[in-house]
């Protein structure tokens, strides 16, 4: 087997020019910002945020090539401080030769704060243009100083038509005699979850079994069932997390554990699950268990530090706790109702009682009754605007909420 045959299909099909890229038209279309950057030949530091297989690496390489920059690629998973120092030294040599350096950092969210900090002076000096690639929300994973010096560009999962076009192009190039039935093409595109690399990897696997006519049955027999059952960016993804949340809400511990296992087995991001548990702790447990939010937040921190496979134990522990906890959505309902009232002009513009304002006349200030001066630290007085007297937002209808409440 020669070298070319050993190259993965996804790499063989990687676009070399902007015109060859399929998808991301909002970035590379006629008025797309990335196209403008390339046309002006003035690169800036960027953060590419999007799912796997959407073109983050490919677009970075094309950008570097189009602006005649030296392209250096590292991964935050395998690189450390010494690797960064070597890159910076290489960039200085380029600088002396009048050559730009574009540093591409794959999975930049894996770098800790101090590692991300190390890039700042070199971005500011113009020594490097940084392109960070991440599948995680930059607002959570990238330090603020780095975000302020970069432009975040969001890459979207490719749609079925775009994936289908990539598959057909690949067949024409590597196996032109192979036919693929329309339903098979649609199925293969769908299970690829908007990921071009995944689509081409699946196609390569299928071609090992069938080179004449690809049917839906051939696809199902060639690819593991887990891929077909759970689409991380499609309906199965949302169905599983929906069932997980609803089972916790119903305090069904076993169903909750099943859907947690289903998501983890399919490769769902454990941090995504942990984030949804934080939301659940606030929305569905709320004031019935004041420790739930802290525990869910701690679970996210622990999952982030530990990673899989051990993170499954942390998620299981907190999942069971949340499922068994008393439930209350009183805070959720209260803020939603109050925000809904903000759409009513008479409520939005209602006058705050004078004795509650920060700068008030002595005569008005004396009307305010300081609760700590009264028995039990409580005294009944009006706090809502006059137009809203007797308005109720908070309602502990099941009596599950912790703490004292007087109205």
Last residue of a domain, one of 137, 154, 171: 154
Name residue, tokens 């769902």.
268
Residue 49 sits in the same domain as residue 150: yes
Assess if residue 6 is contained within a domain.
Answer: no
For the chain, how many structural domains are there in total? 3
293-311 CB burial, b ≥16 within 10 A, e <16? bebbbebbebbbeeeeeeb
pLDDT at 38: 94
Do 98 and 130 have their domain in common? Answer: yes
Q: Which helix (H) or strand (E) holds 179?
A: strand 179-180
Same domain assignment for residues 212 and 142: no
The verdict on 29 and 140 lying in the same domain is yes
Arithmetic mean of pLDDT over the chain: 89
Q: Do 183 and 99 share a domain, yes or no?
A: no
Helix intervals (H) in 149-234: 160-174, 182-191, 196-207, 216-222, 225-229
Average pLDDT over residues 38-63: 95
Residue 370: alpha-carbon gap to chain centroid: 46
Q: What is the percent of the chain with per-residue pLDDT over 70, rounded to a whole number? A: 93
Check whether residue 150 and residue 29 sit in a common domain: yes
Say which DSSP state 284 is in.
I
On the CB side of 73, how many CA atoms lie within 13 Å of its CA?
11
211 has pLDDT over 70: yes
Rounded to an integer, the average pLDDT of 179-199 is 92
Query: Is residue 351 assigned to a domain?
Result: no
Q: What is the pLDDT of residues 135-188, one digit of tens each?
A: 888 988 899 999 999 999 999 999 999 999 999 999 999 999 999 999 999 999
Could you write out the DSSP letters of every residue in 29-86? Answer: STT-HHHHHHHHT----EEEE--TTSSHHHHHHHHHHHTT-EEEEEETTT--HHHHHH
Segments forming the whole domain that contains residue 213: 160-229
> Distance between CA atoms of 262 and 245, rounded to whole angstroms?
13
Check which CATH number belongs to the domain holding 271 and give it. Answer: 1.20.272.10
Whether 173 and 209 map to the same domain: the answer is yes
Q: Confirm whether 195 is domain-assigned.
A: yes
Q: Please check whether residues 222 and 287 belong to one and the same domain.
A: no
pTM above 0.75, yes or no: no
Structural domain includes residue 345: no
H or E element: which one contains 105? strand 101-106
Domain end point (choices 229, 260, 289): 229
Of the pLDDT bands very low, low, confident and very high (cuts 50, 70, 90), residue 47 is very high
Q: Report if residue 45 sits inside a domain.
A: yes
Residue 310 falls inside a structural domain: yes
């Amino acid at each position: 087997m020669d070298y070319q045959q050993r190259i993965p299909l996804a790499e063989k099909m990687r676009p070399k020019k902007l015109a060859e890229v399929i998808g991301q038209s909002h970035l590379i279309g006629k008025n797309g910002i990335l196209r403008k950057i390339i046309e002006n030949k003035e690169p800036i530091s960027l953060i590419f945020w999007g799912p796997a297989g959407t073109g983050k690496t490919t677009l970075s390489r094309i950008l570097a090539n189009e602006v005649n920059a030296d392209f250096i690629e590292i991964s935050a998973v395998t690189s450390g401080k010494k690797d960064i120092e070597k890159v910076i030294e290489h960039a200085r040599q380029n600088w002396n030769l009048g050559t730009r350096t574009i540093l591409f950092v794959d999975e930049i969210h894996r770098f800790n704060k101090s590692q991300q900090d190390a890039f700042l002076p070199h971005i500011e000096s113009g020594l490097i243009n940084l392109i960070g690639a991440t599948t995680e929300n930059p607002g959570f994973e990238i330090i603020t100083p780095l975000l302020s010096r970069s432009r975040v560009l969001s890459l979207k999962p490719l749609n079925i038509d775009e994936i289908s076009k990539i598959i057909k192009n690949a067949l024409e190039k590597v196996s032109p005699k192979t036919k693929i039935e329309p339903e098979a093409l649609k199925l293969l595109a769908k299970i690829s979850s908007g990921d071009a690399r995944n689509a081409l990897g699946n196609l390569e696997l299928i071609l090992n079994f069938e080179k004449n006519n690809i049917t839906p049955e051939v696809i199902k027999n060639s690819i593991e069932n887990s891929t077909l059952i759970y689409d991380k960016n499609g309906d199965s993804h949302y169905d599983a997390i929906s069932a997980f949340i609803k089972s916790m809400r119903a305090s069904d511990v076993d169903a909750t554990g099943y859907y947690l296992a289903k998501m983890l087995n399919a490769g769902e991001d454990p941090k995504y699950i942990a984030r949804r548990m934080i939301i659940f702790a606030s929305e569905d447990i709320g004031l019935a268990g004041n420790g739930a939010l802290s525990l869910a937040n701690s679970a996210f921190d622990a999952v982030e530090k530990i990673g899989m496979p051990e993170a499954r134990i942390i998620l299981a522990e907190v999942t069971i706790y949340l499922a068994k906890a008393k439930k209350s959505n009183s805070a959720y309902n209260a803020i939603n109702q109050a925000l809904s009232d903000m759409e009513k002009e008479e409520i939005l513009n209602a006058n705050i009682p004078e004795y509650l304002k920060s700068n008030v006349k002595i005569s008005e200030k004396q009307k305010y009754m300081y609760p700590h001066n009264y028995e039990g630290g409580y005294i009944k007085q009006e706090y809502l605007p006059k137009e809203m007297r007797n308005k109720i937002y908070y309602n502990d209808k099941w009596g599950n909420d912790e703490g004292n409440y007087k109205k």
